[in-house]
Amino acid sequence: MTSTNLGNGSLFMNKQLPLIIKGIMAFMFLLSAVAKLYPSPNMALPTFEVKQLIPMGFSEMSAAYFSRILIGCELALGVLLLQKNYFKRLVIPMSFLMLLIFSIHLSYEIASSGNSGNCGCFGSLLPMTPVQALIKNIIGMGLLVLLYSKTSKENDRLNFSFVAAITFASILAVFLVGPMQRKSSDQLVEEMMKEMEWSDSDSKKMEPELDAALKKEGIHTSQDQKKGIADKKTVTAINLKDLEQDHNVQQAEEEQLIGEPKQKKSGFASQFGDIDKGRKIICFFAPGCDHCKETAKALTDLASKDANFPELKIVFMDEETELIPDFFAFAGRKYQFKILDVGSFWTALGGTKDTPGVFYLWNGNSVKEYDGINERAFKKEEFKKIVQKKWSEIK
């Protein structure tokens, strides 16, 4: 090998390779930040929070702040990898640390839940399984280690104000494009009802706490409204374990006589008041989702051929709602529907579930559930057989 070839190889390793790695890593961080905001921040951010952060233990409020700060930091690192201020001293180590934290979380997720679902690294733009994301992070960390070894501290510029300004501006930009939506008075009161365990004897004692909590949110309630909240939260001490066996025997006898299950609460009554009465299908669809439209069309086809087909109701995500008329035109029939904001939609559907979601209920009892487009996806022929079965056959 000639000295010229050796010189060219050394030049590539010392000059060109670091530039290539910089470009790759900057692109990866920028893509990760932008993808988490796709197709729109108002849809993507609540989805990321409900499906990724809240299951990790974040509260709804802390998840909203953390998601925006996290994406802002990814955006900042993508920009800072293309400049020289505190590059080796701070930017490369922080980039490595972020990938390391992500990798630890992914490893735990794989060990506890398996390699299923979308890890959320690139949002819905580029769905990745946890294993795929972990491999991507390991490769990224390897490139950063190589970049660190090929970079000299002497080339660092020491303008920390520039680094701080880029970071702050990136986080602020995410908050601006995806503003946090303030909850309505009804939502806040309902959440307080769920958090506070009141009995009749404690209601008066708890009124000052309620007044202070509501006043903090700028909400004023009447005495009747507070009394109604307290009444709803009355706690009755019942030993359910002692009654469970007798209840199950009695329920089985009643079900055998009437030929249908005993009524119970499905958890969807807040969407439709009569959902727990009789045979119902509740679907969770996004108006612009092609898989959702195909599922709705398949359900319409089944309903048109079965006079006893369960009543179908739809919960739509509040995204591209102008497409709802087109959705029903494609499905072939209009159904009773309700629209939920993105966060409430995912919460109602379930943080681990995906669209299209189809739930077959009988007096509130869950008979069959479908969600997503993979192994749990809606199966038309299978569902056709299920809805034709008697309750005794289903049991």
- What pLDDT sits at residue 215? 58
Average pLDDT over residues 366-389: 93
Q: pLDDT of 152-167, one tens digit each?
A: 999 899 999 999 999 9
Query: Residues 292-315: what's their mean pLDDT?
Result: 95
Nearest C-alpha neighbor of 35 from the set 171, 126, 134: 126
| Cα–chain center distance at 293 | 21
pLDDT at 160: 95
Most confident of 41-45, 119-123, 331-335: 331-335
Comparing 120-134, 187-201, 369-383, the range with the smallest average pLDDT is: 187-201
Residue 56 has pLDDT above 90, yes or no: no
* In the predicted structure, residue 189 carries a pLDDT above the cut 50: no
pLDDT at 36: 93
Displacement of CA 124 from its chain's centroid (Å) = 11
The more confidently predicted of residues 238 and 214 is 214
Greater pLDDT, 4 or 42: 42
Q: Which residues have CB under 8 Å from 148's CB, separation 6+?
A: 88, 92, 93, 96
The pLDDT of residue 40 is 85
Does the structure show a pLDDT above 90 at 218? no
What is the C-alpha R_g of the chain?
Answer: 27
**Size (the chain), residues:** 395
- At residue 171's C-alpha, the angle toward residues 86 and 354, to 5°, is 125
C-alpha–C-alpha distance, residues 378 and 372, integer Å: 8
- Chain mean pLDDT for the chain: 83
Q: Once rounded to an integer, what is the mean pLDDT over residues 30-50?
A: 89
Question: Quick one: what percent of the chain has pLDDT higher than 90?
Answer: 55
Helices (H), the chain: 3-11, 17-35, 41-48, 60-80, 92-113, 130-149, 160-177, 185-195, 203-216, 223-232, 240-258, 290-304, 324-331, 342-349, 380-387, 391-394
Residue 202 pLDDT:
45
Q: How confident is the model at residue 203 (pLDDT cuts 50, 70, 90)?
A: very low
Instruction: Write the DSSP assignment of 38-65 as a string of letters.
Output: -S-HHHHHHHHIIIIIGGGT--HHHHHH
DSSP 184-218: PHHHHHHHHHHH----GGGHHHHHHHHHHHHHHTT
- Split at pLDDT 50, 70, 90, the class of 117 is confident
Half-sphere CA count of 394, side-chain side, radius 13 A: 20
pLDDT, position 240: 45
Tell me how far apart the alpha carbons of residues 30 and 32 are, in angstroms, rounded to a whole number: 5
Looking at per-residue pLDDT, the higher value among 233 and 393 belongs to 393
pLDDT at 186 exceeding the cut of 50? no
Q: Is the model's pTM score more than 0.85? A: no
Give the Cα separation of 231 and 227 in Å (integer). 6
Q: How confident is the model at residue 244 (pLDDT cuts 50, 70, 90)?
A: low
Q: Tell me: the pLDDT tens digits for 245-291?
A: 555 545 555 555 457 888 899 999 999 999 999 999 999 999 999 99
- Beta-ladder partners of 392: none
Q: Does 293 have pLDDT greater than 60?
A: yes
